[in-house]
């Protein structure tokens, strides 16, 4: 990692982490309602019948109300499960239980389907620390999604979920960083 780019990424992540920690419960609830509405619109507009999406942690944009809606609509949902080798496995989380995964984020309990299971979805919804106006994504530094997206032969649309103030002018990027096709915030959906 280039030391200057690495330093800029760490500084930006620290700033964004602090902003998220300072959100009030009312701000989080309001944002979760906006995320739910916009994610529902995105899935409907793309006629997606199978998606991948993460289980949101305490300080992440809330995906759980959206996931409840998707499940009631009969949409197949693949959830990421982190592996020691830096790749992601996938599960449908049929047991409706979760645990803290290797990356420190919530992961569902269920039969593991392997890394290539993601190739069969219509839409990929990913977490992010920030997205810039060109569609470049900065995550939290583990590289799971960059590896996954970079290895896919035919990738469906990928949308990142961030708060409005995390859609910024430019994120520091490196060669391995993967762009997304769009961003979902509480107030809008932007396609690149």
Burial code of 128-142, b = ≥16 C-beta within 10 A, e = fewer?
bbbbbeebbbbbbee
pLDDT of residue 150: 84
* pLDDT over 90 (residue 170): yes
Strand partners, 160: 126, 183
Distance, in Å, from the CA atom of 188 to the CA atom of 71, rounded to the nearest integer, reads: 23
Per-residue pLDDT, averaged over 143-148, amounts to: 85
Those residues whose C-beta lies under 8 Å from the C-beta of residue 108, and which sit 6 or more positions away, are 55, 79, 81, 91, 93, 95, 96, 97, 98
pLDDT of residue 162: 97
pLDDT band at residue 1, thresholds of 50, 70 and 90? very low
Per-residue pLDDT, averaged over 128-153, amounts to: 88
User: Rounded to two decimals, what is the model's pTM?
Assistant: 0.92
pLDDT higher at 51 or 100: 51
Per-residue pLDDT, averaged over 52-57, amounts to: 94
pLDDT of residue 174: 83
Per-residue pLDDT, averaged over 124-148, amounts to: 90
pLDDT band at residue 149, thresholds of 50, 70 and 90? confident
pLDDT of residue 2: 57
Distance, in Å, from the CA atom of 120 to the CA atom of 124, rounded to the nearest integer, reads: 10
The tens digit of pLDDT for each residue in 65-97 reads 999 999 999 999 999 999 888 889 999 988 778
Each domain of the chain, given as residue ranges in start order, spans: 3-191
Instruction: Determine whether domain 3-191 maps to CATH 3.30.950.10.
Output: no
pLDDT higher at 102 or 63: 63
Mind spelling out the 3-state secondary structure of 37-63? Answer: HHHHHHHHHCCCCEEECCCCCCCCCCC
* Average pLDDT, rounded, for the chain: 91
């Amino acid at each position: 990692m280039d030391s200057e780019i690495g330093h800029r990424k760490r500084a930006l992540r620290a700033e964004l982490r602090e902003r998220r920690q300072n959100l009030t419960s009312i701000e989080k609830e309001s944002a979760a309602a906006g995320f739910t509405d916009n994610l529902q619109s995105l899935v409907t507009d793309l006629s997606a019948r199978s998606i991948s999406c993460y289980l949101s942690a305490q300080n992440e944009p809330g995906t759980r109300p959206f996931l409840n809606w998707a499940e009631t609509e009969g949409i197949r949902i693949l959830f990421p499960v982190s592996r020691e080798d830096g790749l992601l496995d996938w599960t449908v989380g049929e047991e409706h239980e979760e645990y803290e995964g290797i990356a420190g984020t919530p992961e569902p309990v269920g039969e593991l389907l392997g890394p290539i299971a993601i190739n069969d979805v219509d839409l990929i919804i990913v977490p992010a620390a920030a997205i810039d106006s060109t569609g470049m994504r900065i995550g939290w530094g583990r590289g799971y999604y960059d590896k996954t997206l970079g290895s896919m032969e035919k990738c469906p649309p990928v949308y990142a979920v961030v708060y409005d103030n995390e859609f910024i002018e430019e994120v520091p990027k490196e060669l391995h960083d993967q762009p997304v096709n769009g961003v979902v915030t509480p107030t809008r959906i932007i396609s690149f």
